């Protein structure tokens, strides 16, 4: 340990080495002297001290170890992630690409003017008249007479064709 | 003779493992090695936290948080680097984060408490008391940003070189020197304003 007389004799502004600082930090008698020689030592005098947390080191270490045990217990009961970090990134990237693609496709369908024109052109083409569907393959009945039949004539809308409903138990099955 | 031979054989209690060896043992699942490491580094971690934060209870909480983070991240430690540098980096990150959130809280709540008047006559001769230096430091260092204060504490009180501080903070040495220069300037100005009795020390000697 450096003596006070040695410290005072050798202290010059800006030349405080580790040994001098060590002396300064433990010697209250030299503190005032040092301040007058080199004011930059004002706050440097605070260092070097072994600081102890409130309650002491044993209590502090005990607290830290119990926190570590609590932390480990929490980690043990928390389910581990089934997927690793890069897999999570890959899933996120796929989802983003999917959503972006779907958005682009949706906007393309609803906002591209060219497609609207095409749609309008298609609408302006006269639609082909649908061919009359062949609903009956059997011959039309021109005349029919029977004593047991009930013949109902449907109201006519003015055309030449007459629709008649015939109810007869003796009517041939193929008619 | 036999007793002397026995005394020379290192036992588990007598062997002082260095930090890297302790980390290796912790990685192999030895909880007691972690306890030893915490015990060994408590003063260092708490001291830095206390200097930066300026409050013993907050410093204790932050120190515990640092050790918990250390436990969580020990697998990431690269043994080719000095353990203390890695530990200091963790301490400074946690302490700076805490200071930033505290500063924004304090700015919102206590902005008027910064105006502290000193009753001491500037012409009065001052005898420097260590305890007073500490309270003066806590008062005037409030003008520094969390990073400036951390650098100032590491340089002036922990006696770390600029190159070591740069490694801890992951920045250039010139950045550290800049922060240090600005910190000293700001603190001297603050000292003149709030504690003129101490500021006279500078004026007289320059």
Q: Could you write out the DSSP letters of every residue in B2-70?
A: HHHHHHHSPPTTT----HHHHHHHHHTT-HHHHHHHHHHHHHHHHHHHHHHH--HHHHHHHHHHHHHHH
Facing B127 at nearest CB: one of A32, A52, A63: A32
User: Closest approach of chain A CAs to the CA of B50, in angstroms?
Assistant: 8
Chain A residues within an 8 Å CB radius of B50: 51
Q: Which chain B residues contact residue A42 at CB under 8 A?
A: 128, 133, 198, 201
Q: pLDDT, tens digit, for every residue of B17-56?
A: 889 899 999 989 888 999 999 999 999 999 999 999 988 9
CB atoms near residue A93 (< 10 Å): 10
**Dihedral sign computed on CA atoms, order A159, A161, A163, A166:** positive
- Inform me whether the pLDDT recorded for B172 exceeds 90: yes
Which A residues, 23 through 52, put their C-beta within 8 Å of a C-beta on chain B?
28, 31-32, 35-40, 42-52
Q: Which helix (H) or strand (E) holds B137?
A: helix B130-140
- Over residues A99-120, the mean pLDDT reads 75
Higher pLDDT, A35 or B199: A35
pLDDT the model gives residue B203 = 63
- Give me the residue from B47, B57, B201 closest to A51, CB to CB: B47
Q: What percent of chain B has pLDDT over 90?
A: 47
In total, the C-beta contacts within 8 angstroms joining chain A to chain B are 102
> Once rounded to an integer, what is the mean pLDDT over residues A22-48?
82
pLDDT at B178 > cutoff 70: yes
8 A C-beta contact, residue A166 and residue A151: yes
Question: What pLDDT sits at residue B71?
Answer: 93
Mean pLDDT over residues B86-112, rounded?
80
Residues 30-89 of B with CB under 8 A from A: 31, 34-35, 38-39, 42-43, 46-47, 50-51, 56-57, 59-60, 63-64, 67-68, 71-72
Global ipTM: 0.76
Of B7-11, B55-59, B128-132, which has the strongest mean pLDDT?
A: B55-59
Task: List pLDDT tens digits, range A115-167.
Answer: 556 556 555 655 566 665 555 555 566 677 777 777 777 776 666 666 677 77
Nearest to A65 among B35, B127, B129 (CB): B35
Angle, in degrees to the nearest 10, between helices B196-205 and A28-37: 60
At residue A117's C-alpha, the angle toward residues A112 and A118, to 5°, is: 100
Q: How far apart are CA B52 and CA B44, in angstroms?
A: 12
Q: Does B124 touch chain A (CB under 8 A)?
A: no
3-state secondary structure of B183: helix
Q: Which residues does B148 contact at the CB level (< 8 Å), separation at least 6?
A: B179, B182, B183, B186
Alpha helices in A27-134 (DSSP H): 28-37, 41-44, 57-77, 85-111, 113-124
Q: Which two tokens stand for residue B199?
A: 């500021």
Vertex A51 angle, CA A46 and A56, to 5°:
160
Give the per-residue pLDDT at B201.
67
| Average pLDDT of every residue of chain A | 77
Query: Comparing C-alpha atoms, which of B62, B53, B131, B52 is closest to residue B94?
Result: B62
Q: Mention every residue, 6+ apart, whose C-beta is less than 8 A from residue B152.
A: A43, B141, B144, B179, B180, B183, B184, B187
Rounded to the nearest angstrom, the minimum Cα separation between A92 and chain B is 26
To the nearest whole number, what is the mean pLDDT of chain B?
81
> B139-145 — which CB contacts under 8 Å span 24+ positions?
B139/B194, B139/B195, B140/B187, B140/B190, B140/B191, B140/B194, B140/B195, B141/B54, B141/B187, B142/B114, B143/B186, B143/B187, B143/B189, B143/B190, B144/B183, B144/B186, B144/B187
Mutate to test the interface with B, among A12, A43, A59 (most CBs of B within 10 A): A43
Q: Does B189 touch chain A (CB under 8 A)?
A: no
DSSP B74: G
Rounded to a whole number of angstroms, the distance from the CA of B125 to the nearest CA of chain A is 11
Given an 8 Å threshold on Cβ–Cβ distance, is B198 in contact with A42?
A: yes
pLDDT at residue number A43: 84
């Amino acid at each position: 340990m450096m003596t006070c007389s040695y410290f005072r004799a050798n202290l010059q502004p800006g030349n405080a080495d580790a040994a001098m600082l060590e002396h300064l930090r433990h010697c209250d008698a030299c503190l005032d002297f040092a301040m007058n020689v080199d004011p930059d030592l004002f706050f440097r005098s605070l260092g070097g001290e072994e600081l102890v947390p409130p309650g002491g080191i044993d209590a502090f270490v005990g607290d830290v170890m119990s926190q570590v045990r609590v932390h480990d217990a929490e980690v043990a009961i928390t389910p581990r992630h089934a997927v690793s970090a890069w897999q999570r990134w890959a899933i996120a990237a796929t989802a983003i690409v999917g959503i972006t693609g779907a958005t682009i496709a949706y906007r393309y369908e609803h906002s591209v003017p060219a497609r609207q024109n095409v749609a309008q052109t298609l609408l302006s083409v006269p639609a082909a008249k649908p061919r009359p569907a062949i609903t009956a393959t059997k011959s039309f009945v021109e005349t029919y007479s029977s004593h047991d039949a009930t013949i109902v004539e449907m109201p006519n809308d003015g055309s030449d064709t007459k629709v008649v409903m015939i109810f007869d138990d003796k009517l041939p099955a193929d008619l | 003779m036999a007793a002397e031979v026995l005394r020379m054989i290192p036992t588990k209690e007598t062997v002082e493992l260095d930090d890297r060896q302790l980390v290796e043992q912790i990685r192999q699942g030895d909880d007691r090695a972690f306890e030893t490491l915490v015990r060994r580094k408590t003063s260092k971690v708490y001291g830095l936290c206390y200097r930066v934060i300026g409050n013993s209870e907050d410093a204790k909480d932050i120190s515990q948080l640092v050790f918990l983070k250390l436990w969580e991240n020990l697998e990431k430690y690269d043994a080719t680097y000095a353990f203390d540098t890695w530990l200091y980096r963790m301490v400074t990150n946690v302490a700076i984060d805490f200071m930033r959130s505290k500063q924004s809280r304090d700015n919102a709540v206590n902005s008027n408490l910064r105006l502290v008047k000193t009753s001491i006559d500037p012409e009065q001769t001052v005898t420097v008391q260590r305890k007073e230096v500490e309270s003066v430091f806590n008062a005037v260092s409030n003008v520094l940003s969390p990073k400036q204060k951390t650098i100032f504490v590491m340089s002036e009180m922990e006696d770390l070189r600029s190159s070591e501080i740069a490694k801890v903070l992951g920045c250039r040495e010139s950045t550290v020197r800049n922060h240090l220069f600005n910190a000293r300037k700001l603190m001297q100005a603050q000292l003149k304003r709030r504690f003129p009795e101490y500021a006279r020390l500078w004026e007289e000697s320059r």
